[in-house]
Amino acid sequence: MRRTEDISMQAHSRFSSRRRLPFFLAGALLLVASLTVLMWRPPVVHGSALAVDPGPRPLPAAAGSFYSALNSNQKAIGTRLTQIFTEVNFVAGGPLVKTVGLGPRFNSNSCSSCHAYPAVGGSSPPNNPLFGIYQLMGATNSMPSFITSTGPVIVARFPLKSDGSRDGGVHQMFTISNRTDAPGCTTMVQPDFASAQASNNIIFRQTTPTYGTGLMELIQESDIVANMNSNLSLKQSLGITGHANYSDDDGTITRFGWKAQNKSLLYFSGEAYTVEEGVSDEAFPSENDESIASCLPPFPVPPGTNKTKGVPDDRNDTGEAPKAPVNFPGDLERFSLFMRFLAPPTPAAPTPSTTNGQTQFNNIGCNMCHTTSFTTPSSSIAALSKVQANLFSDLVVHHMGPGLADNVLQGNAGPDEFRTAPLWGVGQRFFFLHDGRTTDIVQAIENHRSFSNGTYPDSEANTVINNFDALTQTNQQDLVNFLRSL
């Protein structure tokens, strides 16, 4: 952050909470159980899928625009919201750099470096931006082995602490040691990712797209529950259960993040700001590593630069000029508005293939989890009011089996449970599943199937994937073409 037409057409070439979760289960048995966690590796395709992924639809992006129905005041702030989302953060600013607060530990220096494709606000781009960031301004970071130049933007979590108790939080990849804008910081070290990999105690999460999230934020809990309780006989026959994740604070349904762990875009923004960029804010006012506070600003800096950092780094901007129409309390509100104003991706025009593909998608049971749409209630933002949101998600979490299990608990989402990923925009996405393990959407489908290993139960998707494999090659291909049209 302070950051088809024919679907067979071939496409262009082919970062969540850092807070330690409140589960402390010590003991050797838990440590042994952690060995079931799967590290990111190339997947194996199972079953008898005959379809071929045509690849992402080529640019221009069918996403990244604000709602055309925004009112004049909302449209007037759009440029400034985009500037805030795309700006780069520094440890200490200068005469032309207002952005102050990067680090002490961080994964990137801007929202848009990771939420990048197919347009600002999206997900991982095909070429990893972290290679232009990790040693910026003299930083002495090394690149972890799991980050590759053409791989997804991912962050690392350690499921367990060294004593076997629960961890689950993000361990930032980089530090501000030896950066020229942090002259007092020279001793910070990066996490020992190699040891974590050797002990099989590391999992990864990739960037989620933010298009249409304003609609997702508004969907009523009663509608989520009613949809969850619908078609129960069919769901039971398919092995589908699923449940909502709930906020520990007020008991309401949460919906953002790979495990539906965050309630609102404001909270999502605050958490990401401190976790991914190390910028403390009004929601998370402490530095993400206070052990090196003595090396942070104020320190001797050239004349004319910002000489104080303070905590939190990001605060109310009531004195910012010009005051209108950009006088918002702070970056969190601006990030939230940027995402709230982003319209959903626009699907490609239907073809006979994609129309049949959606029929097959529904016939085999994909829509029992990937619910086609919800309708928003009345909203103070007219552009979001009573809108049909075709997100293709039920916004609840499901058991996905040992093949996808990450041994991380968030809220009441268990170690093998994940939110049904919204599919809108999947047609222009490069990386799939929570850890970005594949660029092939057919492999992503097959990876939904996984059988109990004694620690985790069967994936709830097993029967649906068997149904997919039983389709004719034409119907399989049409279903894949339908997904790539979204």
Lowest mean pLDDT among 254-258, 322-326, 352-356, 480-484: 322-326
Give the Cα separation of 433 and 372 in Å (integer): 19
The pLDDT value recorded for residue 103 is: 87
The pLDDT value recorded for residue 16 is: 36
Mean pLDDT over residues 120-143, rounded?
96
Distance of CA 295 to CAs 92, 182, 203, 254, 290, Å? 12, 7, 31, 37, 10
The pLDDT value recorded for residue 17 is: 36
Residue 7 confidence (pLDDT) above 70: no
Share of the chain above pLDDT 90, in %: 73
pLDDT, tens only, 416-466: 999 999 999 999 999 999 999 999 999 999 999 999 999 999 999 999 999
Q: Taking the CB of residue 213, how many other CB atoms lie within 10 A of it?
A: 24
The pLDDT value recorded for residue 43 is: 41
* Cα four-point dihedral sign 195, 196, 199, 200: negative
What is the residue-averaged pLDDT of the chain?
86
Mean pLDDT over residues 48-70, rounded?
95
Give the Cα separation of 114 and 112 in Å (integer): 5
* Count of all residues that appear for the chain in the document: 486
**Residue with the larger pLDDT of the pair 323 and 389:** 389
Residue ranges of E strands in 356-458: 374-375, 388-389, 397-399, 417-419
Provide the token pair at 38: 């799967």
Mean pLDDT over residues 361-376, rounded?
98
Residue 226 confidence (pLDDT) above 90: yes
Mean pLDDT over residues 125-154, rounded?
96
pLDDT, tens only, 68-95: 999 999 999 999 899 999 999 998 765 4
Lowest mean pLDDT among 318-327, 328-337, 383-392: 318-327
The pLDDT value recorded for residue 311 is: 72
Share of the chain above pLDDT 70, in %: 82
Provide the token pair at 486: 């979204």
Give the Cα separation of 30 and 302 in Å (integer): 52
- Specify the pTM: 0.86
The pLDDT value recorded for residue 281 is: 87
Buried b (16+ CB within 10 A) or exposed e, 337-356: bbbbbbbbbebbeebebbeb
Cis bond before residue 58 (omega within 30° of 0)? no
Q: Give the burial class of 227: count Cβ atoms within 10 A of its Cβ; 0-12 exposed, 13-18 middle, 19 or more buried.
A: middle
**Residue with the larger pLDDT of the pair 322 and 8:** 322
Provide the H-helix boundaries in 277-369. 331-341, 352-363
Give 286's pLDDT tier (boundaries 50, 70, 90): confident
Task: Tell me the helices (H) and strands (E) count for the chain, helix number first.
Answer: 14, 10
Could you tell me if 157 and 173 are in contact, meaning their C-beta atoms sit under 8 angstroms apart?
no
